[in-house]
Amino acid sequence: MLNLLIHRKNLNYLHLDYNFNLKPVKTLTTKERKKSRFGNAFHLCREILRLTKLVVDANVQFRLGNVDAFQLADGLQYTFSHVGQLTGMYRYKYRLMRQIRMCKDLKHLIYYRFNTGPVGKGPGCGFWAPMWRVWLFFLRGIVPLLERWLGNLLARQFEGRHSKVMLILCLIYRK
């Protein structure tokens, strides 16, 4: 869908790679840079897909046998507790900083209880379920907002900012 939007706007000089990075193919002119600006809906969707890809890739590595269950759990815990560093979601929905802070607090709480006694500052503990729960509830709440944002974006893209139908209706209403 993101690629369809890019090509709908005839932005052939932008490339969306498999890690959901939006890169220019060439050095862009000022006009091209202005034309290639996307809204928060596009970028937030892109960053959520990037987070999803990180989780899926970790599970794929486990299924391939490249990592064991403990490494998978550590990887998932790291991913969920460092979303602010691994993605740039907070740039497009700043309220998301609450979830990032909540996961960081959970991480500190888990490590405070885990890194005691003979363990010391040992390996990760792989306790990812509470942080996963935070992001799951975030996604449940952000879906209606994203639906509205993307609906408006697509409507504007296909109908234009000033729809001819609305203009005709306004003229009829005035008469």
Entry pTM? 0.84
Asked whether residue 157 is domain-assigned, the answer is yes
Residues 97, 112 contacting (CB under 8 angstroms): no
Asked whether residue 30 is domain-assigned, the answer is no
The C-alpha angle 70, 75, 81, rounded to 5 degrees, equals 125
What is the per-residue pLDDT for 82?
Answer: 94
Closest Cα partner for 42 from 12, 10, 17, 20?
A: 20
Asked whether residue 1 is domain-assigned, the answer is no
The DSSP code for 14 is: E
Distance CA 10, CA 39 (A): 16
What is the per-residue pLDDT for 31?
Answer: 94
Q: How many CB atoms lie within 10 A of CB 23?
A: 9
**Number of structural domains the chain divides into:** 1
Who has greater pLDDT, 170 or 141?
141
Asked whether residue 12 is domain-assigned, the answer is no
Asked whether residue 7 is domain-assigned, the answer is no
Asked whether residue 10 is domain-assigned, the answer is no
Contacts by 132-136, CB closer than 8 A, 24 or more apart: 132/76, 132/80, 134/80, 134/99, 134/102, 134/103, 134/106, 135/51, 135/80, 135/83, 135/99, 135/103
Domain that holds residue 90: 38-174
For the stretch 82-106, pLDDT in tens is: 999 999 999 999 999 999 999 999 9
Asked whether residue 19 is domain-assigned, the answer is no
What residues contact residue 25 under an 8 Å CB cut-off, 6+ apart?
A: 12, 13, 14, 15
What is the per-residue pLDDT for 169?
Answer: 63
